[in-house]
Amino acid sequence: MALQASNSQQPAADWDEAQCKGALAHLEKLQEQLDELRLTIPRIIQPLRTAHTTPAAFYADFRQAAVGANKNISKFKVVWQSQETQSIFEHAKESQKTDPDLSACVRVPKYGWVDTLENEKEAAGAIEKEDQVMMLKNEELDITGIVDAFKHEHPKFKVNLEADNQLIHIVFRLPTLLMRFRVVRRKEANGNYKLDAECVGKMPLFPAITRCLASRPRPNDLKYLLDMITAYTNTRRASCVKCTKLVDSSGMTPAARRSKRVESPEGASDIVWEALHERCL
Ligand SMILES: [Zn+2]
């Protein structure tokens, strides 16, 4: 992100709307990194709670956890101390000196700026993009109906259907995390439609979730995909059903969700969603 203020280290006297949005998106990403650091202690102590076959394996596991945690803290420090972050703080300080009344900030959303910027970028290049990905209608699938039912089932989710019903944005807030998903329907050269899902964000967990979504069963089932996305509401709380741990050896919480059919004693059948680490799939 190229903020004008970051070039000079001097805060600009007046920022235009684009600069303010850019700064809010930058701070949102910084907050994501900070949220990720909350797992530092569980990651470090995880090897101490795990049985190891040899002292060497225990040492290697512990070392990896400690080094990984240290790397994450270093990365956060780099961004915190960067010219861009410091310029934003400096600008905020100057702005507060000029006008100490901060009451208007309660009307400004705290999250969603990264999405807003991405959407604006997308809208700017929408026509070109539409050509590239060949987003076309498929009359057979009632996308609006499926998405409306999904919205109704999950009133706390923010769900937007865009680009002629071929692009679905889903956002929901967890206690320490904002989850953002993007589902795109694309027509492939053979005429079939493909559903691509992405968990949007820079934190290592998010691309891992995207990879696990890509390897899901029933890849053409939109309703199934939306239910799978809903299963991420227990992100950071759900342990892996295979290894039973919260974090794996790389310090990652389960990035995959897979469905399992369970029978009740009365004979009724239901679907439950299980969490798995990417490497435990
Ligand atoms: Zn696992």
Q: What is the pLDDT of residues 157-187, one digit of tens each?
A: 999 988 777 889 999 999 888 999 999 988 7
Distance (Å) from CA 90 to ligand 1 centroid: 43
Domain membership of residue 157 (yes or no) is: yes
49 CA from centroid of ligand 1 (Å): 15
- Ligand 1 centre and the CA of 245: distance in Å? 6
Q: How far is the C-alpha of 199 from the C-alpha of 214, rounded, in Å?
A: 10
Asked if residue 276 and residue 199 are part of one domain, the reply reads yes
Residues 145 and 95 in one domain: no
- pLDDT of res. 38: 87
d(CA 50, ligand 1 centre) in Å: 13
Asked whether residue 238 is assigned to any structural domain, the reply reads yes
pLDDT for 134? 39
- Give the Å distance between the CA of 257 and the centre of ligand 1: 11
Q: How many angstroms does the Cα of residue 30 sit away from the middle of ligand 1?
A: 28
Tokens standing for 9? 């280290």
Residue 212 C-alpha to ligand 1 middle, in angstroms?
13
The fraction of the chain above a pLDDT of 90, given in percent, is 38
Q: In terms of domains, do 63 and 23 share one?
A: yes
For residue 89, report the distance from its CA to the centre of ligand 1, in Å: 40
Give the pLDDT confidence score for residue 1 in this predicted structure. Answer: 39
Distance 76 CA to ligand 1 centre (A): 26
Quick check: 163 and 133 in contact, CB under 8 A? no
Mark whether 88 and 13 lie in a shared domain: yes
What's the pLDDT band for 8 if we cut at 50, 70, 90?
very low
Which residue range forms the structural domain that includes residue 61?
4-107
User: Among 130, 139, 152, 167, which residue's Cα sits nearest to residue 230?
Assistant: 152
Interval between CA 247 and ligand 1 midpoint (Å): 8
SS3 assignment, position 220: coil
- What is the total count of domains within the chain? 2
Q: Is residue 24 located within the same domain as residue 142?
A: no
Residue 113 lies in a domain: no
Give dist(CA 63, CA 66) in Å, integer: 5
Question: 253: CA distance to ligand 1 center in Å?
Answer: 8
In a domain, 50, yes or no: yes
Q: For residue 237, how far is its CA from the centre of ligand 1 (angstroms)?
A: 13
Q: Count CB atoms within 10 A of the CB of residue 145.
A: 10
Same domain, 175 and 98: no
The reply to whether 72 and 37 lie within a common domain is: yes
Residues 131 and 262 in one domain: yes
- Report if residue 155 sits inside a domain: yes
Catalogue the long-range contacts made by 180-187 (C-beta closer than 8 Å, 24 or more residues apart). Answer: 180/114, 180/115, 181/229, 181/232, 183/222, 183/225, 183/226, 183/229, 184/133, 184/135, 185/135, 185/138, 185/143, 185/222, 186/133, 186/134, 186/135, 187/134, 187/135, 187/136, 187/138
**Of 19-23, 49-53, 79-83, 273-277, which has the strongest mean pLDDT?**
273-277
- Shared-domain flag, residues 35 and 79: yes
- Specify whether 80 is located in the same domain as 154: no
User: Which of 107, 140, 161 is at the close of a domain?
Assistant: 107
| Separation of CA 153 and ligand 1 centre (Å) | 30
Residue 212 lies in a domain: yes
Q: Are residues 164 and 102 in the same domain?
A: no
Last residue of a domain, one of 58, 73, 107: 107
Q: Which residues contact 193 (CB under 8 A, 6 or more apart)?
A: 138, 141, 185, 186, 187, 220
**pTM score, whole prediction:** 0.58
Confirm whether 114 is domain-assigned: no
Question: Is residue 119, in this structure, part of any structural domain at all?
Answer: no
Residues 185 and 65 in one domain: no
